[in-house]
Chain A
Amino acid sequence: MWARYRRVSFTLLAPAAVLVAPAPSFAVDYLTAEQAQAESFPGADRFEVREVELSPEERAALASRLAAPFPRSRWTLRLAWRGGELLGALVVDDVVGKFERITYSVGLGPDGIIRQVEILSYRESHGQEVRLPLWRKQFVGKSAASPLRIGEDIAGISGATLSCAHVAEGVRRIAHAFPELLRAGGVTP
Chain B
Amino acid sequence: MTVLRRARPALGTLVELGIRTSEGPRRATRPGWGEAALSAGWAALAEVEGAMSAFLPESDVFRFNAAPAGARLEVRSGTAAVLRLSRALWRESGGLLDVSLGTGPAAWSLDSAGGTPVLCKHAAEVRLDLGGIAKGYAVDRALEALAAAAAEAAQPPACWVNAGGDLRTRGVAVRVHLRDERAGGARPWIELREGALATSDFGARARARLAGEAPRARHVSVVSPRCCLSDALTKVVALSGRADHPLVLAHRARAFIHDPLR
Whether chains A and B associate is yes
**Chain A residues at the B interface, C-beta cutoff of 8 Å:** 2-3, 5-13, 15, 18, 22-26, 28, 30-31, 98-99, 102, 104, 117-119, 122, 124-130, 150-152, 154-165, 167-168, 171
Given A155-B53, A158-B208, A159-B200: A118 and B6 interface contact (C-beta under 8 Å): yes
Bound form: Cα–Cα A6–B181 in Å? 30
Minimum C-beta distance from B212 to chain A (A): 16
**B55 beta carbon closer than 8 Å to chain A:** yes
Residue of chain A at shortest CB distance from B62: A155
Given A7-B225, A161-B164, A162-B179: A150 and B12 interface contact (C-beta under 8 Å): yes
Contact of A8 with B225 in the complex, beta carbons under 8 Å: yes
**B184 beta carbon closer than 8 Å to chain A:** yes
Bound form: Cα–Cα A138–B119 in Å? 48
Minimum C-beta distance from B156 to chain A (A): 7
Bound form: Cα–Cα A161–B199 in Å? 8
Residue of chain A at shortest CB distance from B199: A161
Q: Interface residues of B, CB < 8 Å — how many?
A: 70
Minimum C-beta distance from B140 to chain A (A): 11
Residue of chain A at shortest CB distance from B151: A2
Binds A, one of B20-28, B63-71, B88-96, B189-197: B189-197
Contact of B9 with A157 in the complex, beta carbons under 8 Å: no
**B214 beta carbon closer than 8 Å to chain A:** no
Bound form: Cα–Cα A125–B195 in Å? 28
Given A8-B225, A157-B49, A158-B132: A23 and B187 interface contact (C-beta under 8 Å): yes
Contact of A163 with B207 in the complex, beta carbons under 8 Å: yes
Bound form: Cα–Cα A23–B182 in Å? 12
Given A5-B170, A25-B185, A151-B55: A161 and B206 interface contact (C-beta under 8 Å): yes
Given A8-B225, A10-B195, A155-B53: A161 and B201 interface contact (C-beta under 8 Å): yes
